[in-house]
Amino acid sequence: MRGAVRGLPGKMLPRSLLGQMLLAVALALLVAQGLSAVLLYRSAEQRRETRAADQLAFLLAAETRANARSTGEAPADERRRMRWLRVERSTASPLRRGEERQSGREALLAEALVDQGVVPADLLVTDRLLRDDPYYRSDLRDSWRWRNARDLRRGRLLLAAMRLPGEDTYSIARTPLPEGDREQLWLLIAQTLVLYVVLVGGLALLLRRITRPLAALTRRVESFAETRATEGQLAPSGPGDMRRLIEAHNAMEARIAALLDEKDVMLGAIGHDLKTPLAALRVRIESVEDSAEREKMAATIEDITRSLDDILSLARVGRPSDPLERTDLAALVASVVEEYEDMGAPVELGASERLPLPLRATWLRRALRNLVGNALRYGQRARVSLRRESAPGGAWAVIRIEDDGPGIPESDIGAMLEPFARGETSRNRETGGAGLGLTLARAIADQHGGQLVLANRRDENGHVAGLVAELRLPLH
């Protein structure tokens, strides 16, 4: 029986090897591309900040050098120079209410100014919307460097104010604050898509070449486990390792089938060779004059014959020859109970519901007879019921047989399902059987993909009040 994947995350994962491998590669690629995107974004941000700082440093340093060379120039010449540099001079700090100084950018600009030989006494940097800056609106917006810099409604500028030692006037420079590099983002997305197509697509083709014969081999193993037939063996395909695996499996199947055939022939011969002398012996004991002794001999022969039938049935149950047929389980259970009721046995049929299932009816009747017979033999009466039960692994049809006997010691319940195992002395040889009834019932349950569960039934005081046998069959 296939185990169910537990938990919600397990249910969301693909079940096939191909799906899980592709999911693992896709997630790994997503993580790698995510890290790459973060690193590229940080690098682009750093380049953008450095470029803006260099632009501001150039403007402020150029204005400082030009101011040092033109101390004797006329005011008109100074106005022309200032207009070309687009640097504003003001005695007041340009920082407005609500604006904050940006220390990181100030440190970056100070480093760029030092590289150009300018050491400011005071330096401040902030950013603001283009539409909120009066100097941009009055003097910069028609400049070639600002004309296409940014949409006026959404654009921002970076503003730097520098005051040199011994001066009380600020030199104020502005530069457009560039947007993030959208082209880089689209390039990364395109690169990711190409990697997914090439890597995941190529891996999918490779894995399909491996998993397709593996899936076929899995189906073949499941089919052989049910039928034990060698027809329909797989032709070797796929990579070399898969071919060797399929060839080894085919050889193993052939050997198992040969061993099973040999076992069937041997069991048939044993059954014939033993039943024939037993039948002859049964005829011969009729000549015994002592009726009590004759009955003991007949009972012994009958016990040997019954044990031999159980052994042969147990050997054949693993390789059934009859196919599965859709059968109403409730009707089958009712027919077995009616057999015992017709014989006057104290067997009761409790609540049951109609549950059609693919079954081997002959074998399942044998299992039910064994369980009901055990309940009558050791518990004086049997109560049989059938119900549908839901569980995390799927739904089950549960046939429950209760008795009023002494039960089984908890430590011996597992051993009671083994061949020839017998319980306490009350379950002695005189009660009949060879200890194969429960083993045969369990084998029949396994044949149908189910299980046989034994448990002691307890009364209100916690004392053992009987044994409960549950024959559980999966509802497909």
Q: What is the pLDDT of residues 293-332, one digit of tens each?
A: 888 888 788 777 777 777 777 666 666 666 788 889 999 9
Token digits of residue 417:
């399902």
Taking only the tens of pLDDT, the chain with its 476 residues reads: 334 434 445 566 777 777 788 888 888 888 887 888 788 778 888 888 888 888 888 888 888 877 766 554 444 454 444 455 678 888 888 888 888 999 999 999 999 999 888 888 899 999 988 888 888 877 776 665 665 555 555 678 889 999 998 888 899 888 887 666 566 667 777 877 888 788 888 888 888 888 888 888 888 888 887 777 778 888 888 788 888 988 998 999 888 888 877 777 777 777 767 777 777 887 888 887 788 888 888 878 877 777 777 777 766 666 666 678 888 999 999 999 998 888 889 999 988 888 888 888 888 888 898 899 888 888 888 999 999 988 777 789 999 999 888 888 888 777 777 765 655 444 444 444 556 778 888 888 888 888 898 988 888 887 888 899 999 999 86
Burial of 460 (0-12, 13-18, 19+ CB in 10 A): exposed
Burial of 448 (0-12, 13-18, 19+ CB in 10 A): buried
Which value, to the nearest 10 degrees, does the dihedral of the CA atoms of residues 314, 316, 321, 322 take? -10
**pLDDT score at 385:** 92
Residue 7 DSSP SS3: coil
According to DSSP, the residues that pair with 129 across neighbouring strands are 156
String of DSSP letters for 243-268: HHHHHHHHHHHHHHHHHHHHHHHHHH
Residue 166 DSSP SS3: coil
| Overall CATH class of domain 321-474 | alpha beta
- Where do the DSSP E strands lie in 392-434? 394-402
Average pLDDT, the chain: 79
Phi, psi of 222 (to 5 degrees): -65, -40
Residues ≥6 apart with Cβ < 8 Å to 339: 369
Residue 443: its H or E element = helix 437-447
> Taking every pair of C-alpha atoms in the chain, what is the biggest distance, in angstroms?
156
Nearest to 476 by CA among 359, 369, 387, 381: 359
C-beta separation of 400 from 384 below 8 A = yes
Pairing state between β 156-163 and 347-349: unpaired
Kindly list the domain boundaries of the chain, sorted by start residue: 36-180, 321-474
Nearest to 252 by CA among 212, 225, 213: 225
What distance in Å separates the CA atoms of residue 441 and residue 317, rounded to the nearest whole number? 10
**pLDDT score at 151:** 54
pTM of the predicted protein model: 0.49
